[in-house]
């Protein structure tokens, strides 16, 4: 089991502000701040952003892919909409990904440093808002 993940950023303050707002949509907050690093999570730091002076931000893929679990489709939608409003690149609008699983509902964004961040939930029962999606199958 994975305990935490770290990604590289070129501007720690800018990235921390971006992630403060984006990760709040899925229940994460800034938990630890040290020189050159910030840790986000729900009860302990699960996602770290680490400043690297030689890292160059890019909209082409040069970073990591991190997927964060959500409890509901609304959180996935809010994650995506907030990230896009803050200037994140679009790597995949919220929706079902039947090529992964008929229950896989996700959205993908590209952060300012080229890292792909995904929000996912697994769904089961159709709802009015998402007739093709389904509500969570548990956590």
**Ordered per-residue pLDDT tens for the chain, 139 residues:** 789 999 999 999 999 999 999 999 999 999 999 999 999 999 999 999 999 877 665 555 567 899 999 999 999 999 999 999 999 999 999 999 989 988 899 999 999 999 999 999 999 855 555 555 545 544 4
Contact present, 72 and 136 (Cβ < 8 Å): yes
The topology under which CATH files domain 5-52+61-136 is 2,3-Dihydroxybiphenyl 1,2-Dioxygenase; domain 1 (3.10.180)
| All structural domains of the chain with their residue ranges | 5-52+61-136
Print burial letters for 92-123: b (CB count within 10 Å at least 16), e (below 16). eebbbbeeeeebbbbbbbbbbbbbbbbbbbbb
């Amino acid at each position: 089991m994975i305990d935490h993940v770290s990604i590289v950023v070129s501007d720690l303050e800018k990235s921390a502000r971006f992630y403060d707002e984006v990760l709040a949509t899925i229940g994460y907050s800034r938990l630890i701040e040290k020189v050159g690093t910030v840790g986000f999570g729900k009860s302990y730091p699960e996602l770290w952003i680490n400043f690297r002076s030689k890292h160059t931000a890019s909209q082409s893929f040069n970073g990591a892919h991190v997927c964060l679990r959500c409890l509901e489709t609304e959180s996935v939608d809010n994650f995506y909409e907030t990230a896009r409003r803050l200037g994140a690149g679009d790597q995949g609008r919220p929706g079902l990904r039947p090529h992964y699983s008929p229950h896989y509902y996700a959205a993908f964004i590209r952060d300012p440093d080229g890292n792909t961040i995904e929000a996912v939930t697994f769904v089961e029962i159709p709802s009015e808002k998402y007739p093709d999606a389904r509500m969570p199958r548990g956590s």
